[in-house]
Amino acid sequence: MARTTKPFTKVRTSLSFGSYPEVSIANARSKRKSARELLARDIDPKEHRDENDLKKEREHANTLEHIAAQWLEVKKTNVSTDRANDTWRSLELHIFPSLGKLPIHKVSAVKSIDTIKPIAAKR
């Protein structure tokens, strides 16, 4: 735990890096050093950590399945309900089992091609 002073309000706070068995002393010292470097640049280490955690959470919440659902909502305005349902069912059967739960930023061309090859071979 490090005692810090917020850059602009000058309020003293404590910043925890985790408990001992999970975080080694060397790792905690490294985190303290990083926090002090942030403070030297007038960045609150706790706010910085919280912003990074929120950013990572958002990135991982944007799965291929989630993006496809948003896309289908837009697509439904241009196609019939049956066509939209057929498209969604095809995605559920062929794409989502292997790629659906992946964050969109982790879907690579290689993974996509490997998923689509068996579908193309059937036709």
**Cα end-to-end distance, the chain, whole Å:** 61
Residue pLDDT, tens place only, 1-49: 777 777 777 788 788 888 888 889 999 899 989 988 998 898 888 889 9
* Contacts of residue 25, Cβ cutoff 8 Å, sequence gap at least 6: none
The reply to whether 68 and 51 lie within a common domain is: no
**What pLDDT is recorded for position 110?**
92
Which domain-ending residue is among 32, 55, 78?
Answer: 55
| β-bridge partners, 15 | 2
| Total domains in the fold of the chain | 2
Distance CA 2, CA 6 (A): 12
Regarding whether 45 and 89 lie in a shared domain, the answer is: no
Report the alpha-carbon distance of residue 67 to residue 55 in Å, rounded: 17
pLDDT of residue 5: 74
Looking at the structure, tell me whether residues 6 and 50 fall in a common domain.
yes
Q: For the chain, where are the E strands, in sequence order?
A: 2-5, 12-15
State residue 88 phi and psi, 5-degree precision: -65, -40
Query: What is the percentage of the chain residues whose pLDDT exceeds 70?
Result: 98
Look up the domain containing 7 and give its range: 2-55
**Which DSSP state fits 104?**
G
CA gap 108, 47 in Å, rounded: 32
The predicted-structure confidence for 54-103, as pLDDT tens digits, reads as follows 988 888 778 899 999 999 999 888 888 899 899 999 999 999 999 988 88
User: Are 48 and 72 in a shared domain?
Assistant: no
**Mean pLDDT value across the chain:** 87
What does pTM read for this prediction?
A: 0.54
Where does residue 45 rank: exposed (0-12), middle (13-18), buried (19+ CB within 10 A)? buried
